[in-house]
Amino acid sequence: MRMGKQRLFSSLLAFMFILAIATPAQAGDSRQNQVFHKQRLISGAPTFTEASVHDPSVIQADGMYYVFGSHLASAKTSDLLNWQQISTHVHNGNPLIPNVYEELAEAFEWANSDTLWAADVIQLEDGRYYMYYNACQGDAPRSALGVAVADDIEGPYKNLGVFLKSGMWGEESPDGTIYDANVHPNAIDPHTFFDHEGKLWMVYGSYSGGIFILEMDADTGFPLPGQGYGTHLTGGNHSRIEAPYIHYDHTTGYYYLYLTFGGLDATGGYNMRVARAKQPTGPYVDAEGRFMSDAKGAPGTFFDDASIEPFGAKQMGNFFFKREPGEIGSSLGTGYVSPGHNSVFYDEEKGKVFLFFHTRFPGRREIHEIRVHQMVMNEKGWPVIAPYRYTGESLAKIEDEDVVGDYKFINHGKEITADIKESTTIRLETNKQLSGAVTGTWEKTGDYDVELRINGATYNGVIIRQWDPVSNREMLTFTALSDEGVAIWGSQIERDR
């Protein structure tokens, strides 16, 4: 990259790397012990203990879920509701790497940085825990990516070394050509995983030349030699695509590439998307059959959101379920701002798939917290996200008559936008018609599977009872995805009698 373009790149990217560290808070809800015809009686409201880990990557160990993220922050939970903060920021004395500035001196020096970005931890065959750490200059893609190891998941981790760098302006890159940030990756945001055949891979990248994947040596934790930067999967020309995470679903036989588009701060329009492939190296396609390798900005552009907006099934963006007139409850509503940088975990014991991510909130500026939502495959093999955070709910048979009623309705669309999509109201009628803010039809296609046809588009998903924090009780919700990769949510409304 020429120095003039590099300075432009630096100024445009600066805001992307400003992260707010939120103070963990504890919050509880109260509920009235009332029984309505569309809700199941349960005793007591769920309580939550919050924690803040930006870019949470999940791993299960010793009966606990752990998340590791940016700034050497980490937290753990046994129930996915109550989190315990382990660490919060990079400093000598952080329990994960107590002498971090000495231990990771090479990475800090190369990246002109005093902090770390999105970490990922995996347990390899030797039983030890390998932390893939990365440092980045922040206003340019000069980054170093390495690995450290520990016998205990909570550390201390000892550095094994840096194995990948980016941002070597005017110098030869790992693939043997002169480094060019339009086509070469920013070496951050790693996720290391085993495929269904037992091979180890690392997917990584943020903005710049896009998202890449490397085959790894499962014995050493380092990349196999001779791959350069690896195989390009998506992105390029500084398009705002980052936070890759690949999860194999044994029920569908697909590898799902989860990505976050947009900018991470409260005005950046962060939103989560997904594509799938039959092999870890792709090609990944979205719900409309678009090849994700084509998702990139136009040549010579920076942050060209218009070029990438059509790609990937958009699972969640900014939204707000507002409390409707007469609705039971006391809060004004609930929603998220710039949710993203997610990880995915299949809990074999529970038989459930969970989505872990950080999010900001309407009216709370840059404060962010961890959230966990259950995720379910729809009838077409695409993951749909339950609208509310997980509180222990499970899929169960839903009767048609219980589905009938008024709903708060969110259409997440395909835009990359800082606008918050507020709920409108719709009604699912007894005659299977759908009326209100949008019109169409609805039909249950299984015990809990549902198909909604709205304004010419078909959405497939599920109906699930969830804890609604607005009404402070358990209500029916639906989540569905269209053939165009657009997600919709509904939350049933219970009004005062």
Q: What does the DSSP assignment read for 40-105?
A: ---SS--EEE----SS-EEEEETTEEEEE-GGG-EEEESSSSBEEEEE-S-STT-SSSTTHHHHTH
55 included as an active-site residue: yes
Q: Which helix (H) or strand (E) holds 134?
A: strand 129-136
Task: Give the pLDDT score at 497.
Answer: 63
* Whole-number Å distance between alpha carbons of 477 and 134: 39
Q: What angle do CA 105, 108, 113 make, to 5 degrees?
A: 150
Q: From the candidates 55, 103, 139, 286, which is the catalytic residue?
A: 55
Q: What is the CATH number of domain 57-385?
A: 2.115.10.20
Q: What angle do CA 279, 283, 286 make, to 5 degrees?
A: 110
Residue with tokens 């899929």: 395
What architecture does CATH give domain 400-492?
Beta Barrel (2.40)
* Whole-number Å distance between alpha carbons of 398 and 400: 7
* Whole-number Å distance between alpha carbons of 211 and 245: 10
Task: Give the pLDDT score at 28.
Answer: 30
* Whole-number Å distance between alpha carbons of 81 and 236: 37
What is the full per-residue pLDDT of the chain (497 aa) written as tens digits? Answer: 333 333 333 334 433 443 333 333 333 322 222 222 233 334 479 999 999 999 999 999 999 999 999 999 999 999 999 999 999 999 999 999 999 999 999 999 999 999 999 999 999 999 999 999 999 999 999 999 999 999 999 999 999 999 999 999 999 999 999 999 999 999 999 999 999 999 999 999 999 999 999 999 999 999 999 999 999 999 999 999 999 999 999 999 999 999 999 999 999 999 999 999 999 999 999 999 999 999 999 999 999 999 999 999 999 999 999 999 999 988 899 999 999 999 999 999 999 999 999 999 999 999 999 999 999 999 999 999 999 999 999 999 999 999 999 999 999 999 999 999 999 999 999 999 999 999 999 999 999 999 999 999 999 999 999 999 999 999 999 999 999 999 999 999 998 76
468 included as an active-site residue: no
For the chain, the maximum distance between any two Cα atoms, rounded to a whole number of angstroms, is 72
* Whole-number Å distance between alpha carbons of 393 and 415: 30
The structure's pTM equals 0.92
Q: Which of 491, 477, 470 is nearest to 31 (CA)?
A: 470
**In the chain, domain spans:** 57-385, 400-492
Q: Estimate the share of the chain in helix, then strand, then coil, as percent rounded to the nearest 5.
A: 10, 40, 50
**DSSP letter string, 364-398:** STT--EEEEEEEEE-TTS-EEE-SS--SS------
The tokens for 170 are 């005017």
Q: From the candidates 50, 139, 242, 286, which is the catalytic residue?
A: 242
Task: Give the pLDDT score at 29.
Answer: 27
H helices of 199-332, in order, are 305-308
Exposure b/e, 324-352, CB count within 10 A at least 16 = b: beebbbeeebbbbbbbbbbbbbbeeeeeb
Task: Give the pLDDT score at 331.
Answer: 86
